[in-house]
Structure 1
């Protein structure tokens, strides 16, 4: 009888532990439903996971990743994580850094900066608030020019098309002004100097 009671005690602890996790996930589902950090169809980032919310159940949330896999996340994990709702953004950041060759003369660099600023100021989908282009400094093998602006879109595919359009425009400006994009280079000096 004592052994049976001990077995029931251990079994009861196991059942209680399993029930605790289930209840934790159910309460988390209620918290998600009341806070509404996302809706079905929204693209979210939960920790390092990024994807589209496909289902919100009592125990878990299912997210389809960009690799087209479905990840099931316990609701308690969702509630305990930082949730970024990418679908809720009102615009998208465009922030490339251009690496220009070091033989770009200062006057050419100024013309490049002016042309990029003009591009940003006249493009109909560039949000003017905060848009800028700056000579950021000297990199290991390039002069660094930062372009920073937001694009007036919430759709990923449209963002990609706008970013591509701007990338081509930036490349044309650099070429037109007589500069070029740099690539990592190394100069090797050999000690000894004697002929072999």
Structure 2
């Protein structure tokens, strides 16, 4: 008996629900027909305008697809915006046109509510699609223009996933909020989930964001010659988690992106010039007049070897030499060219000193002989015997 009564109650409830649905549908039909009957002129005008807007938006979509398929220009923004417009959905275009018709022709409240709901969903998710395409397009452009194509290829999958999750999560929250749903719990849940994922994979995300920092900030690029700590190497590959370098001594070095950015990096490829310095010492027997001519000699030699003379001058009295400092610059970052010029300048200085009889000092020791009275004597001249009178010739 109890089961039969429950079944009968369920059947009655289903009939009531069906009847209510039919009543709502009949009310919607009658109200819509009355609306069309009383506002047919406004509806006709709105439909024409909506059709024009539909065609225009379709044209913009096709124009965006055509622009996005071309080779990116110097800035890349036209290409990025074109690809974003190409992702405009037909549902959004249709709902935009319908929204215009309904808003201009005084549609019934139920129709307006339905259209507003659908238009909100279409507009929010279309904005999310545009935002995703613009963000990903900007990342792609910056990576390709900076020579980081390999880094993008390895990181693009996870970047696309993170960007898509972020923009569509925000879009979903906006849709629910516009529908009157309390999104506080959803936002809190997403926040807690994001924190948990971030803590679980903080090392991976730290290296990923470091790779993105390298891509956007461009402290160095593939092929650059860099130095950090006591390491001198060239960049071979910038990856998702680590960067591979080739040391000047031949071995491959692998360092995580996060640790690499924490160091002070010297990018030798971006040098304006390379500076060379020579410390030159001449003997104390060199006359002052000759010493005064040494800076001009150095300038003439440096400029003859396609380098920029910076300065040369007397810097101090050494233990066994008169010390001069020569500073010059070799234009450009190429170390091989600088190395050859520095070597040629050093040999030219040696040749000039030999030709002019200028002695380059080296560590020496000199012994002086003194008589009983403390005055220096020439050890090559014998001391005269007592009582002997030295007479001049």
TM interval, short-chain normalised: 0.7 to 0.9
For residue 41 of structure 1, the aligned residue among 210, 217, 223 is 223
Gaps of 5+ in 1: 1-14, 190-196
Match of 1:109 among 291, 294, 297: 291
Aligned to 1:161: 340
Residues 184 and 16 from structure 1, CA distance in 2 versus in 1: closer, same or farther, beyond 3 angstroms? farther
The structure, 1 or 2, with the larger RCO (C-alpha pairs under 8 Å, 6+ apart) is 1
- Give, in whole Å, the separation in 2 of the partners of 1:41 and 1:141: 46
Structure 1 position 174, deviation (Å): 1.9
Larger Rg: 2
Q: 2:210 and 2:367 mapped to 1: Cα distance?
A: 60
The answer on whether the counterparts of 2:280 and 2:324 sit within 8 Å (CA) in structure 1 is yes
Structure 1 residue 71: deviation in Å?
A: 1.0
Deviation at 1:41, TM superposition (A): 0.6
CA separation in 2, counterparts of 1:179 and 1:17?
A: 71
Q: Which residue of 2 aligns with 1:8?
A: none
Question: 1 CA distance for matches of 2:206 and 2:365?
Answer: 57
Aligned residues: 172
Partner SS for 2:201: helix
Question: RMSD of aligned C-alpha atoms?
Answer: 2.4
Q: Give the secondary-structure state (helix, strand or coil) at the position aligned to 1:67.
A: coil
Q: 1:187 to 1:71 in 2, by over 3 A?
A: farther
Q: What secondary structure sits across from 2:295 in the alignment?
A: helix
Match of 1:179 in 2: 358
Q: Distance in 2 between matches of 1:19 and 1:118?
A: 62
Higher strand fraction (1 or 2) = 1
Deviations 1:66-99 (A, max 9, x none): 1101111111111111111101112211211112
User: What aligned pairs does 1:1-196 form with structure 2 within 5 A after superposition?
Assistant: 19-120=201-302, 122-123=303-304, 125-127=306-308, 131-185=310-364
Q: Which has the higher helix share?
A: 2
